[in-house]
Amino acid sequence: MTGFRGLTWDHPRGRVWLEAASVLWRERGVDVSWDAQPLEGFEAHPIDELAAEYDLIVLDHPHIGDALRNGALQSLESVLGDDDPLFSERYVGPSLRSYRGDGGTWALPIDAATQVSARDSRLVAAAPETWEDVERLAADVPVALSLSGPHALLTFFSVVAALGAAPVDEAGEAWVPDREALDALEVLRAVQARSAPGYDRINPIGLLERVGSDDPLAFVPLVYGYVNYSRRGNEAPVAFGDAPRAVRGGPIGSMIGGTGVAVSRRAEVTDGLREYLRWLVAPSTQRRVIPEFEGQPALAGAWADREVDDRAGAFYSSTRDTIEAASVRPRYAGFPAAQLAGSELVRSALSGELAPREALARLGRLARDSRAAALKGNR
């Protein structure tokens, strides 16, 4: 029996269905054992270090640049062949595109997510449509922005997108245009001024654990969606909706997340591994196995499946417009570290520690310097 080591992230959405699949595939002669790391490790742990220990790595797309700089991954084209049918599958939003670059595809989308709104349906009947609506709501019920780890910068990027500007230019050199950047900060400062205290350093999972529980938190305007919290038996559910717009009928702003499975350089590719990878994104797996075992599929067909959506408390239909409009983050080497530094600057601007224009000036320098370092490292 051929054995492979995999690393995923430690939440039922990222772990349970892969562990269940391992039982099935062990019977087929392919033994894939999965370890799990915390969300914070998933967001920040260097991929080249993980690639020395694991054959398969579940990752987020901003890590692609670091992985390529260190030669940590095998392209899926080299593993499966350029014309494999899975490359022509319709994945929701820009999921597949987010893992492409430098002439290859470096991870296979197995899970799709983006920032959406989350509310306690006992307290908030419908998702506010605009950021102005969010500000008004914050005067009536506890509201919190998702600002922990890299999420302050991603929230900022998303408001820029809602204002109608690309949060990152095509080359990845400038993160945000000046005018929209200042407007976005003012939008967030207005909401933060009315937001409930004590939630700034809580990660998305922690925020969703609080929404719909005995905690008073009633609404989070931008947080990565987790289908697991969409329905909790007969308890008050977390209700998900589209991300806010700057104006009614305007664009939705959100940054694509989700996960892809990458094949490390250390992996010995076999026919069994190829079949396992194809099975992960097969329509039957995405529509039946993944939803049954706590997962969140990446295929558009699964998101459109009425049975899947009904069992998920309308999670997919309620957030589909947002994920289809989502933007992709930079994927150059060094960006994961830069987004953490950028988030700290955004938090400083929201707290009043830094004036908005000073925070934006520092963000601009951070974007330029991190991109220049990436280009220098590629020479």
What is the Cα–Cα distance from 286 to 376, expressed in whole angstroms? 40
- State percent of the chain over pLDDT 70: 96
Q: Is the pLDDT of residue 172 over 70?
A: no
pTM of the model: 0.95
What is the Cα–Cα distance from 2 to 31, expressed in whole angstroms? 6
- Cα–Cα distances in angstroms (integers) from residue 194 to residues 73, 134, 138, 199, 344, in the given order: 45, 10, 6, 13, 20
Q: What is the pLDDT of residue 168?
A: 86
What is the Cα–Cα distance from 116 to 257, expressed in whole angstroms? 11
Q: What is the pLDDT of residue 324?
A: 98
Q: Which amino acid is at 356?
A: P
Q: What is the pLDDT of residue 234?
A: 46
What pLDDT, in 10s, does the model give residues 282-316? 999 999 999 999 999 999 999 999 999 999 999 99
What is the Cα–Cα distance from 223 to 144, expressed in whole angstroms? 10
What pLDDT, in 10s, does the model give residues 62-88? 999 999 999 999 999 999 999 999 998
Average per-residue pLDDT in the chain? Answer: 94
Q: Is the pLDDT of residue 235 over 70?
A: no
Q: Would you tell me how many other CB atoms lie within 10 Å of the CB of residue 355?
A: 12
Whether 106 and 60 have beta carbons less than 8 Å apart is answered as: no
**Cα 260–chain centre separation:** 10
pLDDT band at 364 (very low <50, low <70, confident <90, very high): very high
What pLDDT, in 10s, does the model give residues 189-222? 999 999 999 999 999 999 999 998 899 999 999 9
Q: What is the pLDDT of residue 40?
A: 79
| Mean pLDDT computed over 117-140 | 96
Q: What is the pLDDT of residue 323?
A: 98
* pLDDT top residue among 84 and 40: 84
Q: Is the pLDDT of residue 137 over 70?
A: yes
Structure tokens at 118: 């989350």
* pLDDT top residue among 179 and 131: 131
| Mean pLDDT computed over 156-162 | 97
* pLDDT top residue among 119 and 212: 119
Q: Is the pLDDT of residue 371 over 60?
A: yes
